[in-house]
Amino acid sequence: MSVAVAVTLAVSLLFAATAPTLGRRLPPAPATRVLVVGSLTVTASEIFVLAVVAFTWVGQLPDIAALGPWSTVALRRADPIPESAAVGAALLLPVLAAQLSWWIVRRCRALLAVQRSCRHLPHTDSLVVVDTDRLDVFTTPDRRGRIVVTTGLLRALAPAERRVVLAHETSHRDHRHPWWLLAAELAAAVNPLFTRTARTVAHTVERWADEDAATAVTDRRLAARTLARTALLMHQRSTRAPEGALGVLTADVPTRVQALLAPPPRRQPAVVGLLVTLALTCIFGAAAVQRSGERLFEHASTPTYTVKG
């Protein structure tokens, strides 16, 4: 059991350490999928393993043991997990649960606020134009996914550039990018080791939309130029101070421009395979931990229990 626990936790650390670097080498769409699904499964496996480890100690508490058929003495003798590790896991779990709940409350509040703001908009899937001199464009995460753009930005762009910006936001909307981002942040909210992965996903999601926009206008250099010019225009006219929010997760614009100036990224099945293998190893590890945990408690419940060498 100790081996399965150690392997699962070691592989999950390996995934968290390598995912950001490997993810950046992949084309953005598969990178987003494999990083998000991977970090969620790895986090779930970790939590599961921690819970089993914690329960080998919790199960020894008299009040808890009274609820089950196992003997505390037998359990303590057969338990291969050091008590300190099990107590540590039992103390860590409520902390992680609190972190997760806090994150969920904050994000739900934000999503509801955005939902409220969009409630009065007409029920069409067309563009929402806000009449202001400010330069801004974004996609909302609500059910319809609205693309909101200011007249200031529309006027500042040439027709071809407008097509790039709109195609970029349409990609965000059609591929539900806000939700991929939230899923990546969810893993990071539970496990801070995935913060760097979530930041990478914020980047790959933007790259995904950039690549879609470049495909839509069939001109990578036009897409690159539009991105650079729009970013500079917005920056020069912006009144907002550098902020947190996406600030923490700000996708870095020069890298995106350089990627568009380079040829389209090539598929990398080996890298995807490696990340998938790591994530699957975590799932199998968690399953092994679960099986041996079950066996441990069955063993401690058998009346004809004898101490083995």
Partner 1 sequence: MDSGRRQRGGLEQEVIAVLAADGSAMTPGQVRAALGAELAYTTVMTVLARLCDKGVVTRRRAGRAFAYQAVVDEDEITARQMRRLLDARDDRAAVLTRFVGTLSADDERLLADLLRHTEQAGDRDDVR
Q: Please give the DSSP secondary-structure letter assigned to residue 33.
A: H
Asked whether 286 and 10 are in contact (CB, 8 A), the reply is: no
308 lines the binding site for partner 1 (CB under 8 A): no
Q: For residue 148, what are the β-bridge partners?
A: 128, 138
Which two tokens mark 273?
Answer: 């395979």
The CB-of-178 to partner 1 minimum distance in angstroms stands at 5
Q: Give yes or no for residue 217 binding partner 1 (CB under 8 A).
A: yes
Give the three-class secondary structure for 235.
helix
Q: Is 33 in the site for partner 1 (CB under 8 A)?
A: no
**Smallest separation, CB 108 to partner 1 (Å):** 10
Residues in region 49-88 near partner 1 by CB under 8 A: none
Binding partner 1 by CB under 8 A: which of 228, 274, 287, 288?
228
User: Across the strands, what pairs with 147?
Assistant: 139
Least distance to partner 1 from the beta carbon of 218, Å? 4
Q: Contact region for partner 1 (CB under 8 A) — 19-27, 69-77, 84-92, 250-258?
A: 250-258
Residue 137 — left, alpha, or beta (φ > 0 → left; ψ -120 to 50 → alpha)? beta
Map the footprint of partner 1 across residues 83-142, applying CB under 8 A: 106-107, 109-111, 113-114, 116-122, 124-132, 134, 136-141
Backbone angles phi, psi at 210, to 5 degrees: -60, -45
Structural element, H or E, at residue 234: helix 220-237
- What tokens were used for 234? 């917005």
Residue from 242, 263, 303, 309 that binds partner 1 (CB under 8 A)? 242
Of 93 and 231, which CB lies nearer to partner 1 in the complex structure?
231
**112 burial type by CB count under 10 A (0-12 exposed, 13-18 middle, 19+ buried):** exposed
DSSP state of 48: H
Give the distance, in angstroms, between the CA of residue 113 and the centroid of all CA atoms in the same chain. 22
Nearer of residues 36 and 227 to partner 1, judged by Cβ: 227
Residue 28 is a binding residue for partner 1 (CB under 8 A): no
- Asked if 247 is part of the footprint of partner 1 (rule: CB under 8 A), the reply reads yes
Site for partner 1 in 154-183 (CB under 8 A): 154-155, 158-160, 162-163, 165-172, 174, 177-178, 181-182
Return the range that interacts with partner 1 (CB under 8 A); candidates 8-16, 70-78, 252-260, 301-309.
Answer: 252-260
Which of residues 238, 267, 291, 295 is near partner 1 by CB under 8 A?
A: 238
Nearest to 177 by CA among 23, 33, 16: 33
Asked if 215 touches partner 1 (CB under 8 A), the answer is yes
